[in-house]
Structure 1
Amino acid sequence: MRQARAARGQALRFDLASVAQCDTAGAAMLLAAEQEHGSVAELVAAQAPVAALITRLRGLVIGADKTRPLAARPDAADGRKAATSARHVLADLVRRLGARAGDGLAFLGEAFFALLRLSARRRMVRLRDLALLIDQAGWRALPLALLLGYLMGLILAFQSAIPMRRFGADLFVADLVSIALLRELGPLLAAVILAGRTGSAQAAELGTMKVNEELDALVTMGLDPMPFLVLPRLAAAMVSMPALVLALDIAGLAGMATVLSGFGFSPALVAERVIGAVHPADLMGGICRAVAFGAAVAAIGCYAGMTTGAGPRAVGAAATRAVVGGIVATIALDGLFAMLSYRLGL
């Protein structure tokens, strides 16, 4: 290989007079030497079967006959071309992300102006549909929220008690779990539940309407889909989230109390520690976060449904985008709220 690389620009010959047999591994080695050299080698005194094998394999490798010159190994120019191609790919990705962000901002703007005009178009919001949406987003998700909250309280209490028992601080598990649930985990887990159940359902429902051209039919009849379909779903998510958060917090505290009761602490003592550790501001802050999370999840779910493409897989892709986007947006908003709380000293 080193000799073939050093002989670039000169004729390359393989003396195969003493080669009686050759398999594909041997032929591949010779072709690798040709690639190092950058041109087709001359086969000297090669037996007919050996020459036929090398010629055939060469044609499979380079996609042409034996007279076509081989491409040399990438040099600096090829590296520059690859870097340029990578920049083009990155620029295209940035453009697509920018276009997607622009479409999302346009959707939010339409929803905002539809909300401003809602007082003059109240007939387009049907209270019965709003009640059904609240029932689907809140009441039907309540068992899952209770179960998840109880299990999360159990897990947090157990995992916190293991290191804190070394210092005789088992009782302070109540402080840790209650603050974590009311400030962070309660709203975050409720938002994940909402994204997995309601966000995906909204995206699938609106996506099916888009594929079946029902949204176009509404526009043709003079009905704006924003106040008719999007705003009720946003309102239902924002109304349901505080109830889900409260249920999840209560279930989590019950799970934590179950663990501490197993460690020998009375429920009255645990309740006293919880009351002393948390403040009403913690609960109200968690509820405010929950409302913002619910609005973000519902908006992303409706946007994914309204922008569903064509084809049999479009509805499934819209539901996937709704769940992933809702969870990512929830975590991003939670980080912003955490930074704001730290700056304000809350």
Structure 2
Amino acid sequence: MTRVSLKQIDDGYALIGSLCLSTVSPVWQQSRTIDWQNQIVDLSAIEHCDGAGAALLFELTQSGAKLQNIPEQCQRLLSALEPQRALHHKRNKPRITLIAQLGQTSRATLQDFQEQISFIGSAARSFVDAIRLPQRIRWSEFLHQCELTGANALPIISLISLLLGIILAFQSAIPMRQFGAELYVANLLGLSLIRELGPLMTAIVLAGRSGAAFAAEIGTMKVNEEINALVTFGYQPMHFLVFPRLMAGVCMLPLLAIWAEIIGMLGGALVMRGFGIPISTFWSQVSSQVDIGDFFSGMLKAAAFGLVVASVGCFRGLHTGTGASAVGASTTRAVVNILILLVITDGIFAVVYYHLGW
């Protein structure tokens, strides 16, 4: 390959040789030491030119040089680069006022709320269709989701519930022991776990575990256009994907909450055993304080929490945008929305139970 050289002539400069990737580097460095404003560059001696050589010529034109006797190959590459046009400078985005931002946020929130209402209506219709035509339910997928949501979550639920019971009992027994009332820690622990903390902590764990998994799984299918393929083949995503997960969430979260309550009270009983209170006395105090109404109120709350976790996870998955980052964004929004709705739902239950006298 003939090397290229840059030589000064009477009326300017001349490039001689082959302008290619392997030879252009020394000439490029030399050219940057020259003021090219209104300088003439003769290209009649160019033997070969590739993309790297065209880039050098483009830089010369942008520096003010005037090219003459351009070979056809160089001219073709330069035409693609459009050297006659000046380099574009990035324009600053127009500044959005606070009122405009507020309007855009409000519009997006209302649109998202409308989509959620539509999703709730579709889910309710799928429940009615399942009751009317139970043979349409994908029982194998439902059992598989129950395994993923329920059985596979037992280890983390057990660990958190045990630690929760131990911490609650220990932190409550220390101040109550000053008044000789550490026996009533069992009453406090049993009532708080069964009515409130058992269902709520289980739902929070499943929000980060199952809710995020639902959003990521369905969101990946949306990005890969697998959901469009299902619709093409005549399958409804609500029946095929969402309904088994909704049923699994509603059925499994109360069962996990029962397990969490048992493990949490077991942890509290072990702590109270260290304070000299027998386990039989602990269970006697719990049974005297907690009745069947407290248990069913907690289970009703757990079922509602399960519906929130599963429905929001599936909803965010179905409304995933395009691109790899969209799956992560949908998963993050699913977890955040689930946590917010869990708190709101818990507050609604607290107000309703207060007015009902439960």
Deviation at 1:119, TM superposition (A): 4.8
| Correspondence for 2:139 among 127, 141, 144 | 127
Q: State the number of aligned residues.
A: 264
Question: In the TM superposition, what are the counterparts of 1:199-278 in structure 2 within 5 Å?
Answer: 199-278=211-290
* Aligned equivalents of 1:314, 1:275: Cα separation in 2: 49
The answer for the alignment partner of 1:161 in structure 2 is 173
**Secondary structure class of the residue paired with 1:117:** helix
- Contact 1:308-1:314 within 8 A present in 2 as well: yes
* Aligned equivalents of 2:113, 2:151: Cα separation in 1: 33
Structure 2: runs of 5+ lacking an equivalent: 1-94
The answer for the alignment partner of 1:93 in structure 2 is 105
Q: Larger relative CO (CA 8 A, sep 6+): 1 or 2?
A: 1
The answer for the alignment partner of 1:149 in structure 2 is 161
Report which of the two structures shows the higher radius of gyration computed on alpha carbons: 2
Percent identical: 42
* Aligned equivalents of 2:279, 2:130: Cα separation in 1: 49
Deviation at 1:156, TM superposition (A): 0.4
- Contact 1:124-1:228 within 8 A present in 2 as well: no
TM-score normalised according to structure 2 size: 0.71
| Correspondence for 1:172 among 184, 206, 218 | 184
Q: What one-letter code is carried by the residue in structure 1 that aligns with 2:325?
A: R
Q: What whole-Å deviation, never above 9, does each CA across 1:96-133 have from its counterpart, x for those lacking one?
A: 11111111111111111222233565454221111110
* Aligned equivalents of 1:113, 1:275: Cα separation in 2: 41
* Aligned equivalents of 2:212, 2:222: Cα separation in 1: 15
Q: Which has the higher helix share?
A: 1
- Contact 1:182-1:282 within 8 A present in 2 as well: yes
Deviation at 1:91, TM superposition (A): 2.6
Deviation at 1:333, TM superposition (A): 0.3
* Aligned equivalents of 2:309, 2:330: Cα separation in 1: 13
Runs of 4+ in 1 over 6 A off after TM superposition: none
Q: Which has the higher strand share?
A: 2
Q: What whole-Å deviation, never above 9, does each CA across 1:153-191 have from its counterpart, x for those lacking one?
A: 000011111211121111111111110000000000110
* Aligned equivalents of 1:270, 1:115: Cα separation in 2: 42
**Secondary structure class of the residue paired with 1:140:** helix
Deviation at 1:92, TM superposition (A): 2.3
1:314 aligns with 2:331: no
Q: What whole-Å deviation, never above 9, does each CA across 1:65-92 have from its counterpart, x for those lacking one?
A: xxxxxxxxxxxxxxxxx9x933332232
CA pair 289-235 structure 1, distance change in 2 beyond 3 A: same
TM-score normalised according to structure 1 size: 0.74
Q: Please tell me the root mean square deviation across aligned C-alpha atoms, in Å.
A: 1.5
**Secondary structure class of the residue paired with 1:313:** helix
Q: What one-letter code is carried by the residue in structure 1 that aligns with 2:304?
A: A
CA pair 120-251 structure 1, distance change in 2 beyond 3 A: closer
* Aligned equivalents of 2:198, 2:123: Cα separation in 1: 28
CA pair 122-220 structure 1, distance change in 2 beyond 3 A: farther
1:112 aligns with 2:89: no
CA pair 209-124 structure 1, distance change in 2 beyond 3 A: farther
The answer for the alignment partner of 2:70 in structure 1 is none
Q: What whole-Å deviation, never above 9, does each CA across 1:249-284 have from its counterpart, x for those lacking one?
A: 000100110110000011111111111111111111
Q: What whole-Å deviation, never above 9, does each CA across 1:204-252 have from its counterpart, x for those lacking one?
A: 1100110110100111111111111111100011110111001000001
Q: What one-letter code is carried by the residue in structure 2 that aligns with 1:89?
A: Q
